A and B are shown apart, each in its own frame.
Chain A
């Protein structure tokens, strides 16, 4: 009887933990991982492995030797960062590029701020943007791997958005570009070889999205507000001048909009708390992405948009509070 514990209420706790949430994200990422490995073969395996291993190892080393704190590797967040970073790289990127990306993601963007929960910017995107600026050639050439599925081999080349941007700059109209390149929405939806490892299959990403919603890992507002904003913004421009501006579906299915809106913009740490805040955040990302695509010098823009909006999160949190009971 003397063994009875005494502590304040509540005496029970939900089974959901940081680790279980992160594990759910990993499971949600699996369809995209599988598709990219199947279609890009061994190079994709090597990029994924080096990114995940290095992210995890680095977090372990930093907590153990620099911060001298209990190690946090078991919360699985480094694995999530590793997978997302790898899915953001061309599958044929050399392993050491993945390692540098991991070093920036975990070493700089995450652990410098104090680890999970303290960082301002999404670690995987920070890593990706660092690589994009440092190794533009490697980061923008795709394909070339040998698929595990016989008969399908990825061809080298630029992404659809890259091709469009370059060709428009050369004075071609969209009709001519489409005719010359044979873009297929159906391919983009299922498997479109010509993109970073994670963005080749919209369906795989959407399966992950539905899984996370069903498991209540995320709420849908951020993702949906990004997608709606991208569709509306590009829709308006496309209706005005279909020869110069790509259509909404093309913009939704290319350039990491899906990958970013489902897995990166919804990162707990770097997105607003409230649903209202999430919608503002998502609309901001959508607008910035489309401004970069239509008027900037980069073909895509999702990563930059998310990073910029990450910086506004504390402000959004301050002004978007949940409605309090009895304080109309």
Chain B
């Protein structure tokens, strides 16, 4: 019996129509716009100003706090401006705009294809490289990876889980890198394993990706035959169920441990990293290459050219879409990320971030919300919720502003996976209502538990 998480979940049609498209390298655009807010936490502080010449891989933003990250130039050229530029939702965020001239890389970056499998002994060196090269979690939250690899004192991980579930429909970028860069991902896993000092690494992949499972198993077998640094790495086939890639769900699926409410994975001895992050770790440590490019899927039934492309961070979305044939006539919505948790794009001139995984186009037919009708108390939302919550009840409590009851019914545990709204036959916007109320409840909890001044 294949493993999966124990509570709830839904089975949307997986629509991996771009799965067969090998990763293509997209040439750099004329101008890139590199955001200073590409990670969870404080935005980076720009270290360049207009007129500066920069090279590929040069630091252009420094972390502005413990939870923050370095930002590097993804191109070589001249800094045009440092200032506000609109992100995909239309909010102004500090960006560094760089006019591209040639492709000159910083010294010390290994741009060759040679696979470096030797794991450095010094863990501090590994962490410094990860931090210095701006690696952040690429599974969605973009949490600085070096912070995640250094648990607070008193907490110790005993397992590293690599997330290769890619449970969102349509997305195939993780799938492609698992096929095309399987060895690099496994080396990345071994590096993180060494830093964490764990004996066990599980690479969790859903059953709908047999080719990726085979490639990853092959890579693990080959590398572990060569060195004991690769012992204890295992590929695990998971049942297909959304949201398997949710951190808490994946930990449950792999280890049968559950993270306590408001707790962190490290509390149950687990660290979860995405396979794309593992690849970034490999490049950062073994090649000294900063996180300046990433693979993203451009897809949708209405999109003429299904693609997986490797782009430089800061490439305008419109440039990517135009070079692949432009926005289809019948597209009603463009989404950055998957259809379950991705963000709707309102500004196509926005630039890619380190964590951008896809541009998905949906037609009106596919994405239109239907009119809300009475709750028929069918319980499908309760059945679907992977956190075991009662979305129908939270919806009712939220609409009546009952904050205490919302907290008692664990609204703060909601992971915003969208299963409730997806499965509601009465088209009730459950998550829309719950998301807002959850924010209020969490603020209330924080203000209550924060130390008094």
* Residues on the B chain within 8 Å of A299, using CB: none
Per-position contact with A for B314-339: 1 when CB-CB < 8 Å, else 0?
A: 00000000000001000111110101
Pick out which of these stretches binds chain B: A42-50, A115-123, A179-187, A195-203. Answer: A115-123
* Number of interface residues, chain B, beta carbon within 8 A: 63
Render A69-91 as a binary contact track against B, CB cut-off 8 A, 1 for contact: 00010010100000000000000
Report A273-287 residues with CB < 8 Å from chain B CB: 273-274
Contact between chains at A72 and B332 (CB < 8 Å) = no
Do A10 and B422 touch across chains, with their CB atoms under 8 A apart?
Answer: yes
| Nearest Cβ on chain B to A201's Cβ, whole angstroms | 27
Q: Does A13 contact B (CB under 8 A)?
A: yes
Q: Which residues of B contact A96 (CB under 8 A)?
A: none
Pair B341/A10 contact, Cβ less than 8 Å: yes
Check A273/B377 contact, CB under 8 A, given A5-B333, A12-B422, A327-B261. Answer: yes
Least CB distance from B70 to A in Å reads 29
Q: Are B386 and A325 in contact (CB under 8 A)?
A: yes
Report, as a range, how many residues of chain A touch the other chain. 35 or more
From B339, B370, B379, B389, A268 is in contact (CB under 8 Å) with: B379
Q: Which residue of A lies closest to B416 (CB)?
A: A9
Residues of A within 8 A of B369 (CB): 7, 13
From residue 102 to 120 of chain A, which have CB atoms closer than 8 A to chain B?
114-118
Least distance between A219 CB and chain B CB atoms (Å): 8
User: Do A12 and B340 contact each other (CB < 8 Å), given the known contacts A18-B425, A323-B7?
Assistant: yes
Residue B157 interfacial (CB < 8 Å): no
- Distance in angstroms from B254 CB to nearest chain A CB is 15
Q: When chains A and B are docked, how far (Å) is the Cα of A8 from the Cα of B422?
A: 12
Q: Is there an interface contact between A326 and B248, defined as CB atoms closer than 8 Å?
A: yes
Q: Pick the residue among A1, A7, A18, A325 that contacts B388 (CB under 8 A).
A: A325
CA distance A72 to B333 in the complex (A): 29
Q: Distance (Å) between the CB of A234 and the closest chain B CB? A: 30
CB-based contact B331/A4 at 8 Å: yes
Question: Can you report 27 residue pairs joining A to B where beta carbons are below 8 Å apart?
Answer: A4-B334, A4-B345, A5-B364, A6-B346, A8-B344, A10-B418, A11-B339, A11-B342, A11-B362, A12-B169, A12-B340, A12-B366, A13-B422, A14-B10, A14-B425, A16-B380, A18-B426, A117-B377, A118-B374, A273-B379, A322-B390, A324-B387, A324-B389, A324-B413, A326-B258, A326-B413, A328-B258
Residue numbers of B with Cβ under 8 A of A are 7, 10, 12, 89, 169, 248, 252, 258-261, 263, 327, 331-335, 337, 339-346, 348, 362, 364, 366-367, 369-370, 373-380, 382, 385-390, 392, 410, 413, 416, 418, 421-423, 425-427, 431-432, 435
